[in-house]
């Protein structure tokens, strides 16, 4: 028994056949876990920046600890780290290809789920690939089709292509925002990377936050405004954005895809049938049936559906599926029912175990490990985050990585199918503001007076909310309910979902675990955007449409289980632990967090009641205390100062 985990089921060693299958999968290019970074500077010779590039590479090495690659030219540096499962010589990056009169180099983080279709398009254009790697498919698609290549891709990705003769950089990010890409832009250069910590290794990136960054941390956190990197002069390429960077024109960005409003011609039966096709196709595209990958299994609808579809695919090949669940020590003793979490997971997980006949692995997290992991979670995210919701996932992924390299998870179904409580509560739904944090009044109580005054003048939250509504596509004939539900879906995909995807990517990649999210398939998002609300709420259930479409995949008690959020600890020892952690940090009279908030407000939090909801039901009082622990640690860890 370790300090971190109690392993209640045996560790499984994969057979020789499974290892051989994994080798086959790698040779076909199905693994692409990595980190990317780069510098483009037309006013200096980047050969002189090799040590800086090495430090940037080291900052993302956990995303891909087995291989390191770097292209260093006069004006361009491309940096890559890769996880090589078995064949270390296959798929090295940066990858280079000559096409016509140009030489193209790529660093790529992601997975294409339609590589065969892209290969076919390239073959029709007269381009033949030399490997089965999706990296080569992406690179040559750009060489042949230019920036339009991104419209061909179904997958999760962030990549950069450097054209050596033209001296031009192309950047792109996937439609749904699963894979990250941050950048720092000045008149002299562009610096980019998978993670904020990587950018901070470049000496000209300021370790500072201004009032905009404080607004993000205090009023939006753990969320972020789309495109905002929190740090001064740091941005993020938004989901479904691509960009060119050149000496003449600087950085020019455009959005290549967005949710479009259209009439929905299908009746309910046709809609359910199409949803079933889209969901099963998305899952199957992200599965390789003879590869020892696994699935998250919470006993909720979404992860159970993914596991059920995966188990059927694996069974056809006589291979057991590996499923993974998390719980907290003594949660059976301290669990408290609430409006948001009416029941706990273990009973439903056991039900799915019996139905799936999978190789199941339990991870039980202890309170001391959970509290201590708050710091590693900040290291992984590069920002304060969702407190123990982040920390528990980080520990969980660390355990999963001991068994598999790839796992499938159920994120994004709630945003698209209307699963959250705020979709179905008419009072919350009609209110102004982000439904998971409709008032900033409580948050503002923490701010130092001079900061509070600046924040009130800016009205950032109202402006961000209004801007999201303004970019929501609607039809002239939409009823008030349908219009509002489109707005709700846009609010959730642009904001809440991005926070969860941030969490999933950083916490998993910290242990070099690649997590795929089948419900994030853009085809599902586009179709669901136009499905009437009455269909989604079939039989009065949240995600009723999804339940009906997939009903033969699950036991009845799981199929119709009421929505329950990601589990968190209810152990009183956790509140005591994070309280002690914050008290110790406040013993420092110059604690960094006191540049933003007052000591008095933090003391009121420590001594207050439990009716705090900092970020929906996921962050109540213990998690709010933990958030301020993380904020202080983050400022200390990265040397962040406030410059107003």
List, by residue number, the catalytic residues.
34
Q: Phi and psi (nearest 5°) for 572?
A: -60, -20
Dihedral of the CA atoms 432, 434, 436, 439 (nearest 10)?
-60
Greatest Cα-to-Cα distance within the chain, rounded to the nearest angstrom? 70
* Dist. CA 409–CA 419, nearest whole Å: 16
- Classified as helix, coil or strand, 20 is helix
DSSP one-letter string for 463-520: HHHHHHHHT----TT--HHHHHHHHHHHHIIIIIHHHHHHHHHHHHHTTT-EEE-GGG
- Continuous segment of H or E residues that includes residue 8: none
Q: How many CA atoms lie within 13 A of 435 on its CB side?
A: 25
Tokens of 192: 């980019």
* Dist. CA 16–CA 319, nearest whole Å: 12
Burial class (CB in 10 A: 0-12, 13-18, 19+), 452: middle
The helices-and-strands tally (H runs, E runs) of the chain is 27, 20
Beta partners for residue 200, in sequence order: none
Burial class (CB in 10 A: 0-12, 13-18, 19+), 248: exposed
For residues 149 and 242, the answer to whether their CB atoms sit within 8 Å is no
């Amino acid at each position: 028994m370790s300090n971190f985990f109690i392993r209640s089921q045996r560790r499984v060693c994969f057979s020789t056949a499974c290892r051989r299958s994994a080798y086959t999968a790698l040779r076909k290019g199905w693994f692409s876990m990595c980190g990317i970074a780069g510098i483009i500077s037309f006013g200096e010779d980047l050969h002189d920046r090799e040590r800086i590039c090495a430090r940037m590479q080291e900052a993302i090495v956990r995303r891909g600890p087995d291989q390191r690659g770097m292209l260093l030219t006069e004006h361009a540096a491309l940096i890559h780290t890769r996880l090589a499962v078995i064949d270390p010589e296959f798929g090295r990056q940066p990858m280079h290809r000559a096409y016509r009169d140009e030489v193209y180099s790529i660093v790529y983080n992601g997975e294409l789920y339609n590589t065969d279709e892209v290969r076919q398009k390239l073959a029709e254009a007269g381009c033949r690939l030399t490997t089965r790697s999706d990296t080569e498919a992406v690179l040559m698609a750009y060489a042949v089709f230019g920036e339009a290549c991104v419209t061909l891709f179904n997958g999760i990705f962030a990549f950069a292509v450097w054209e050596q003769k033209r001296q031009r950089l192309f950047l792109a990010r996937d439609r749904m925002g699963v894979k990250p890409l941050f950048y720092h832009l000045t008149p002299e250069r562009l610096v980019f990377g998978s993670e904020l910590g990587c950018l901070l290794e470049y000496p000209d990136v300021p370790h500072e936050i201004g009032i905009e960054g404080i607004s993000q941390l205090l009023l939006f956190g753990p969320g972020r405004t789309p495109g905002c990197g929190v740090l001064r002069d740091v941005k993020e390429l938004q989901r479904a954005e691509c960009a060119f960077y050149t000496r003449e024109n600087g950085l020019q960005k455009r959005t290549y895809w967005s949710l479009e409003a259209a009439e929905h011609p299908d009746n309910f039966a046709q809609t359910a049938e199409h949803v079933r096709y889209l969901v099963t196709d998305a899952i199957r595209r992200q599965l390789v049936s003879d590869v020892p990958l696994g699935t998250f299994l919470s006993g909720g609808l979404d992860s159970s559906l993914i596991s059920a579809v995966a188990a059927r695919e694996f069974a056809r090949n006589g291979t057991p599926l590996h499923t993974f669940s998390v719980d907290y020590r003594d949660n059976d003793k301290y669990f408290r029912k609430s409006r948001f979490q009416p029941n706990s997971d273990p009973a439903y997980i056991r039900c799915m175990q019996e139905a799936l006949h999978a190789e199941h692995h339990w991870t039980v997290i202890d309170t001391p490990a959970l509290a201590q992991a708050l710091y590693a979670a900040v290291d992984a995210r590069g920002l304060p985050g969702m407190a123990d919701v982040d920390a528990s996932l980080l520990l969980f992924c660390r355990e999963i990585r001991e068994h598999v390299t790839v796992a499938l998870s159920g994120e994004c179904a709630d945003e698209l199918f209307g699963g959250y409580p705020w979709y179905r509560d008419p009072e919350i739904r009609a209110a102004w503001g982000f439904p998971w944090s409709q008032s900033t009044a409580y948050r503002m109580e923490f701010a130092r007076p001079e900061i509070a005054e600046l924040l009130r003048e800016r009205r950032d939250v109202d402006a961000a909310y209004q801007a999201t509504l303004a970019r929501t596509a609607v039809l002239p004939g939409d009823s008030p309910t349908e219009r509002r539900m489109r707005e709700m879906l846009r609010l959730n995909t642009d904001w809440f979902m991005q926070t969860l995807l941030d969490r999933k990517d950083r916490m998993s990649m910290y242990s070099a675990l690649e997590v795929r999210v089948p419900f994030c398939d853009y085809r599902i998002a586009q179709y669901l955007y136009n499905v009437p609300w009455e269909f989604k709420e079939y039989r009065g259930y949240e995600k009723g449409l999804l339940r009906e479409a997939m009903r033969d995949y699950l036991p009845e008690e799981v199929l119709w289980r009421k929505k329950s959020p990601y589990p968190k600890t209810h152990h009183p020892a956790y509140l005591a632990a994070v309280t002690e952690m914050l008290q110790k940090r406040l013993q420092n009279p110059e604690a960094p967090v006191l540049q933003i908030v007052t000591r008095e407000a933090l003391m009121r939090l420590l001594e207050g009641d439990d009716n705090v909801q900092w970020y929906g039901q996921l962050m109540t009082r213990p998690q709010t205390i933990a958030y301020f622990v993380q904020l202080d640690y983050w400022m200390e860890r990265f040397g962040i100062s406030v410059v107003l």
